[in-house]
A and B are shown apart, each in its own frame.
Chain A
Amino acid sequence: MKKPDDLLTIAVTGLNAIDSPGPGIAVIRGLREGLKRPLRIIGLSYETLEPGIYMHDVVDKTYQVPYPAAGSESLLKRLIYIHEKENLQLIIPNFDAELHNFIKLAPVLKEMGIETYLPTQEQFDARDKVNLFRFGKKHGLLVPNDKIISSTTELSACEEAFGFPLVIKGKFYDAIIAYAMEQAQKAFYKITAKWGLPIIVQEFITGTEINIAVLGDGKGNAVSIIPMRKLYITDKGKAWAGITLADDALLKVADDFVKATNWKGGCELEIMRTAKDELYIMEINPRFPAWIYLTAAAGQNQPAALAKMALGESQPVYTEYEVGKIFVRYSWDHITDIKEFHQVSGMGEL
């Protein structure tokens, strides 16, 4: 069958629509709904049981790609192979851990005719957990104070500076709230064993957690800002239901962040609103969140807007969205066949 002349082929990662979901499926849903043109979606997967691989109404074809730790050269080699087969026009990576490689490869991919829409390595590094406090200080953004430590002996200084409870955080993932020194030491060892050093010890900020999905154009403009409050949270702290909010102060924090950094691409701000109405930036995730489809449902389709901007098309700044729009996630036992599993496992593509 002949491919339509205006067929757009976009590769997307994060097909792990599991209990701690990657954003890929939600991104694809936004693209399919918002781009209104023939679309071929290529999934890029790391694991053989990422549900999206088997969801053929969502993903047209999937290729396995090497783990980020294999480095950018391995990834490039694989992408060259995939590009020869699929003629990719755009790649939207959705995992924190893979972004470094994709940012590094962006100029090479562009030469190959593949667009990306990513922050610079400097922007990416600046918002890293390890640098977050200094980042906030530099840009006048409210961020919890922290200390970066490599030994349990440094915990006493953290106690002196912030008092208990303390938040003990891994450099990539995991956070444990410690209410006493013994708990803090235990948390230090537990997280170090999993994620290595350093450990981030953060002052504990209590309040209401709010998340903001943001799309920046790389020139200091926030093309879209959608704040959401989690209504139902899983034991992994992930939103299972959420609602869009209207609050000028939240929009301002996101806008200030984009202006200060010239952020390019999608990101998620994790905000804590204290009883005094202070808005602390707790974390900045450098890619779309898993709940990104809510932005489309609320009237600001961020994945589609990102794709348009990446392809050099005009995308006006969104100003309106529907407040009180709710998402409720659900689980579904998708049925596939052993042949498909075999195909992915053995051939690395389906």
Chain B
Amino acid sequence: MYLKKNIATSESGFIFNPSTGDSYAANQAATDILQLLKQGTDPSDVKKQLLEKYQVDSLRLEQDWDDFINQLKQANLLES
């Protein structure tokens, strides 16, 4: 699961898809995920880091993770 190479992300959570012109604002947790995915970090390692950084149990994390990944897919931001 990788973010498309051309997707621009900023530390402040701004996401820009240069192919479509769409832009999005992400919260801190989403920004962290995107930065890590962009660096090629494996999803399981991303989740580990999220569990360490945020006060969240693993069940809730999995639910939010699926929800977020679906949003990224719908926005056409992931490599197919």
Contact = CB atoms under 8 A, between A and B. Distances in A.
Interface size class of A (residues with CB under 8 A): 10 to 19
Contacts of B16: 324
B20 A208 contact: yes
Q: Give the secondary structure class of B's interface.
A: loop
B18 to A, nearest CB: 4
Contact of B18 (A208, A231, A242, A246): A246
Interface string B24-51: 0000000000000000000000000000
Contacts of B18: 245-247, 323-324
Interface in A212-267: 229, 231, 242-243, 245-247
A247 B16 CA distance: 13
Contact of A243 (B6, B8, B21): B21
Nearest to B22: A229
Interface in B7-27: 8, 16, 18-21
A246 B19 CA distance: 5
A111 B18 CA distance: 46
A229 B17 CA distance: 12
Most chain-A Cβ atoms within 10 A of its Cβ — which of B6, B16, B19, B20? B19
Nearest to A250: B19
Contacts of A323: 18
A247 B20 CA distance: 8
Contacts of B6: 246
A176 B8 CA distance: 37
Contacts of A324: 8, 16, 18
B67 to A, nearest CB: 22
A235 B36 CA distance: 42
B8 A229 contact: no
B75 to A, nearest CB: 13
Interface of A: 208, 229, 231, 242-243, 245-247, 323-324
Interface of B: 6, 8, 16, 18-21
14 contacts: A208-B20, A229-B21, A242-B21, A243-B21, A245-B20, A245-B21, A246-B6, A246-B18, A246-B19, A247-B18, A247-B19, A324-B8, A324-B16, A324-B18
